[in-house]
Chains A and B, each alone.
Chain A
Amino acid sequence: MLVAWLAPLAAFVAAAIVPTIEHRRRGRVSIATARAVAQVATACSVLSLGLALVALAAWVWRGSDQPPIVGDWFRFVRVGPLDLSAGYCLDTLSVVMTTVVTLVATCVHVYARGYFTEEMAPEGVVDSEVLSGTLPLQREGRLHRFYQHLSLFLFSMLGLVLSGNLAMTFVFWELVGLSSYLLIGFYYEREAAANAASKAMLVNRLADVGLLLGMIALWNATGGLVFIDGEGGGLLSAGQALRESGGANYRMLCWAGLGLFCGCLGKSAQFPLWTWLPDAMQGPTPVSALVHSATMVAAGVFLIGRVYPLLTPEVLVIVASVGALTLLIGAVLACAAADFKRVLAFSTISQLGYMMLAMGLGGWVAGIFHLMTHAMFKSLLFLAAGAVIHATHSGDLAQLGGLRQRMPRTAWLTGIGVLAIMGAGIPGLGLGLSGFYSKDLIFEQAIGFYRANSWAGWLLVAPTIGAALTAFYMGRLWLLTFAGKPRSVAAAEAHEAAPTLLLPMLVLAALAISAGWTLPGLNASLAALLDAGSPAPHQLTVGTLWPEAVIPGAHDHHAPGIKLRAGLLALGATAAGLALVGISRLRGRLANPLGAGVVQALDLRTLPAINRGFATSVRSCGTFLAEAIDRWTIDNSLIGFTRGLWRGGVALHRIETGSLRHYIVFLVLGVVFLGSLAILAVV
């Protein structure tokens, strides 16, 4: 199983070679070098994909259901007794995740070669969005830099997915954050891009404080950070035992779960900390496709899936509630957004909310499965957005329209992505696009959860409304971009995307259609593979602190009647959303379906206000700490202490007269004083 570990190494070699080449050629990096760098990086990515596929095949051949979690352990650093070693843990989750990450990464590597044509222009790049003086900024192309960051990202993401203990996960968690920062700020001359990068960095660091605290609490509760050790023990089984017994450390386990979830809030752009993701769209579109839709933002869901046995029912209910809230907020904002990529960004937030919701409802398989299918169709949609932007130099929906005639292939591929994210399919036959299967699983889970917890009706209502909104904003997006008449000169003169752009989209579209299918004859599917490797308990779990929180068992949603009901619910919601799209198109209100005031209020007023309120509260808290604790208490005590010392010194300085005869008198007085003290002590 060492092959899978070689995959990130190959990508890392790519990231390491690039600066050397760059360094050797002082000054300007020539186009030939940049092209060579791109080829090396792409080759390494393809190699990673090949190895990941080999690992997946080996895994399936070995049988993922025999040992529920099989971890191979490779230790090459060990610090004292703390065992902060670097290792890897291979189970169904990490193998499948590796495949998805390398697959999307390879598509994006290929795609970026076609996307960044201007970065390879011999006379340099003219960035019309930045003015230097009165002219547009002219700068050198930096394709090599893009591939360097991309390789670093791929390496860290694979390290995160494969890592065998929480400390190493944390390291790579921060590394993907760093590469995300670098990639968002790729056009760092643009002020918006630089700000967006800083914002993403800051929001994520805030969340990572929670992750770190969670790790400490977890260490406290279970005594280790290794997921699974060689003897079958480790963090996960210790936490699971603790959760089942409800022992003395149960409360600590809850805090640990909440802390880890707090880290996921930032990375996966959940409810209070989602605001960085729409801004992150300032990065190049291939980056949005890879980092900010398919892989990095899904790392939060992955981490929840990784530590799933540790999460108590109380924590899971919080996860589900936050997920439900996020999916509604994201969907509503996606309906109002006016930019192609912003719609997709809010849609990503909403879909991540779906994954979190599924996780929280006890649907490990549903959540991870939706992560996989979402990676396919959302990166497809982002690549399509890139193709549109590349052709028209604008992502503003008001400037697009009518592109179906000019770019028929892109329109078709986008349509596949749109249908997949809506979850189009026929419930009775169980046949549909990939999103149909994963969304149905989530609905089944929600119904199962509602049966176990009668108070949790809104956790079923939220995804239903969300599904209708998904159909609405996706239909709106497609119609505004590809249907109707061109609304600008650029849109009217757009050209079909180049084959390098279309090929990765084609691959992803094929997977967006088929990722949920069961292989005929073999009875093997992604969902079945995940199901066999699921760590979710098979029986009901009841919260110790809060007995009303009941997490249904892993297979409770297979109860008769649920599947058809879930399918009909999802189909009904989607149909309602589509009907709404049709109505608003007929009434000509598609561009601004919620009314100008609502858009203003939501996207321009509410969001900044929430941001500002949050930032203000954080800052006033910080100001209070700085003023009251630091500047007043600590500084003043130090200043007072030094001032007292100074004054004492000045006072004592007076008796240093410099006169020999005075010193003799002091000497005598001192001896008399000490002598009388001695006599008093004796008497």
Chain B
Amino acid sequence: MLALPSDTLLPLLPMASLLTSPIGVAHYLVVGAVLFTAGIVCMATKRNLLGVLMGVELVLNGANINFVAIGSPYLRGDAATLGLDGQLMALFVIVLAAAEAAVALAIALNFYNTVGTIDVDRASQLRG
């Protein structure tokens, strides 16, 4: 465990208390947010269509972590959770992500066949 000068630094960092508190829902949410942001940045910066697709998967998984954490009886206690709903939602998202990946890969394949590349910046034929 890192020893931090908590008296001086803690008021300055808004989430610094996470470092000292036991693992809870908030930690999972932070991981989900990091994943989500990484996914968004990936989508916005990658020119490769497959890279954009991976960014989408990261965003979806970030959301999944939130679902699982909030729905978990170990983290929040039996009374506070909503039963299996969180996990169920995560399963739905995984299924949807698989379907979406199938469709997106088909688009990518067709796009490659048509244009000869999978650079998304080249997909600008419908620009107004």
Contact = CB atoms under 8 A, between A and B. Distances in A.
Contacts of B117: none
Contacts of A661: 43-47, 52, 120-121
Interface centre among B40, B46, B124, B128 (most CB of A within 10 A): B128
B128 A659 contact: no
B128 A668 contact: no
A656 B46 CA distance: 19
Contacts of A657: 124, 127
A678 interface: no
A653 interface: yes
Contact of B44 (A656, A658, A665): A665
A653 B127 CA distance: 10
A660 B42 CA distance: 12
22 contacts: A656-B127, A656-B128, A657-B124, A658-B124, A658-B126, A659-B120, A659-B121, A659-B124, A660-B52, A660-B120, A661-B43, A661-B44, A661-B45, A661-B46, A661-B47, A661-B52, A661-B120, A661-B121, A664-B40, A664-B44, A668-B40, A668-B44
Contacts of A658: 124, 126-128
Interface in B17-39: none
A265 B40 CA distance: 82
Classify the interface of chain A: helix, strand, loop or mixed: helix
A24 B77 CA distance: 100
Contacts of B120: 659-661
A668 B37 CA distance: 10
Interface string A650-670: 000100111111001100100
A664 B52 CA distance: 10
A663 to B, nearest CB: 9
Nearest to A668: B40
B28 to A, nearest CB: 20
| Interface pairs A-B: 5 shortest CB-CB | A658-B127, A658-B124, A656-B128, A660-B120, A664-B44
A391 B127 CA distance: 86
B123 interface: yes
Interface in B72-128: 120-121, 123-124, 126-128
Nearest to B124: A658
Contacts of A664: 40, 43-44
Given A665-B44, A668-B40, A668-B44, A660 B127 contact: no
- For chain B, which range describes its interface: under 10, 10 to 19, 20 to 34, or 35 or more residues? 10 to 19
A544 to B, nearest CB: 71
Interface centre among B43, B123, B124 (most CB of A within 10 A): B43
A292 B51 CA distance: 94
A424 B20 CA distance: 131
A580 B89 CA distance: 117
A661 B45 CA distance: 7
Nearest to A655: B128
A659 B45 CA distance: 11
A323 to B, nearest CB: 73
Contacts of B43: 661, 664
Contacts of A656: 127-128
Interface of A: 653, 656-661, 664-665, 668
Contacts of A660: 52, 120-121, 123
Given A660-B120, A660-B123, A661-B121, A653 B128 contact: yes
A661 B47 CA distance: 8
Contacts of A668: 40, 44
A671 to B, nearest CB: 10
A10 to B, nearest CB: 72
Given A661-B43, A661-B120, A664-B40, 19 more contacts: A656-B128, A657-B124, A657-B127, A658-B126, A659-B120, A659-B121, A659-B124, A660-B52, A660-B120, A660-B121, A660-B123, A661-B45, A661-B47, A661-B52, A661-B121, A664-B43, A664-B44, A665-B44, A668-B44
Contacts of B127: 656-658
B35 to A, nearest CB: 15
B24 to A, nearest CB: 23
A657 B120 CA distance: 13
Contacts of A653: 128
Interface string B41-61: 001111100001000000000
Contacts of B40: 664, 668
B104 to A, nearest CB: 12
Contacts of B123: 660
A142 to B, nearest CB: 64
A138 B126 CA distance: 69
Contacts of B128: 653, 656, 658
A266 to B, nearest CB: 60
A42 to B, nearest CB: 76
Nearest to A656: B128
Interface centre among A657, A658, A659, A660 (most CB of B within 10 A): A660
B40 to A, nearest CB: 6
B119 to A, nearest CB: 10
A581 B46 CA distance: 112
B94 to A, nearest CB: 22
B44 to A, nearest CB: 5
Contacts of B44: 661, 664-665, 668
B105 to A, nearest CB: 16
A659 to B, nearest CB: 6
Nearest to B47: A661
B16 to A, nearest CB: 21
Nearest to B123: A660
Contacts of A659: 120-121, 124
Nearest to A654: B128
Interface centre among A653, A657, A661 (most CB of B within 10 A): A661
A593 to B, nearest CB: 84
A72 B55 CA distance: 91
Contacts of B126: 658
A661 B126 CA distance: 15
A656 B126 CA distance: 10
A484 to B, nearest CB: 91
Contacts of B121: 659-661
A421 to B, nearest CB: 83
Nearest to A662: B44
